[in-house]
Amino acid sequence: MKTHYYFGWFNDGFFEKLVRLLHEDITDRKSLVMISGNPFLHEDEEVGATERSWLDQANIMFDEYHLIDYGVQKEEAQKLIQNASVIFLLGGEDIEQNGLLIKYELSDFIKKSGAVVMGTSAGAINMSAKWLCSEGEKSSIYDGIGLDDFSVLSHYDLENNIAHIQGDLSPLLEEMNVYASNKDCAVRVKGDKIDILGNVYLISHSKIQKLDETF
């Protein structure tokens, strides 16, 4: 059964409910493969350090740790994905990460993988079917990996930007639902079931609904 986690951001690491679910879902801990959100910074040891610390604090350790960026060859990156126990798309620059996924042709490998796939901030956005990027007055819709048939607006202060978001997202809302979250929250998709942890909103057409936690 495929399991996907769409995270916001965590200032103090994963919270207790989320830790329990991750321990339940992550039973194979041979290889963690992280996909950089800053793939050009392949000599920066800080890339992925925060996200890895969340797993360390939750006592979720792996035999091997790998980071895919432009310092890794395309064929090696694809092989790492095929052998991964968990694939973690890191936070960072959503467009740069999207470019890495396209250039290295990783999306199909991720979709076919039996690994638990999770992403935070930019990583969660790129797990989406599609997502909207606003640059100045221009908005563009990007294709994500498409693990599930919805879009994610991650790491965003929705409560103070509802009217602004509705206007920005209108082209995307014609096609699909959007799950919006900010900090200390997660959307978990396991099989056909969607679970909500923390403050997550569903934006469907013109309606915005705060979702009840399922745990």
Note the pLDDT of residue 182.
Answer: 82
Backbone angles phi and psi of 17, in degrees to 5? -60, -40
According to DSSP, the β-strands at 151-153 and 86-92 are unpaired
Rounded to an integer, the average pLDDT of 107-120 is: 97
**Digit-coded pLDDT (tens) for 171-205:** 787 789 999 888 899 999 999 999 999 999 998 88
Give CA–CA dist 67/6, Å, rounded.
19
Note the pLDDT of residue 160.
Answer: 61
Q: Check: CB of residue 85 under 8 Å from CB of residue 115.
A: yes
Flag whether the pTM goes above 0.85: yes
The residues facing 133 across adjacent strands are 140
CB crowding 202-212: b at 16 or more within 10 Å, else e: bbeeeeeeebe
CATH architecture classification, 3-210: 3-Layer(aba) Sandwich (3.40)
Answer whether residue 60 shows pLDDT above 90: yes
Domain residue spans in the chain? 3-210
**Digit-coded pLDDT (tens) for 116-175:** 999 999 999 999 999 988 766 677 889 999 999 999 988 666 666 665 566 667 778 778
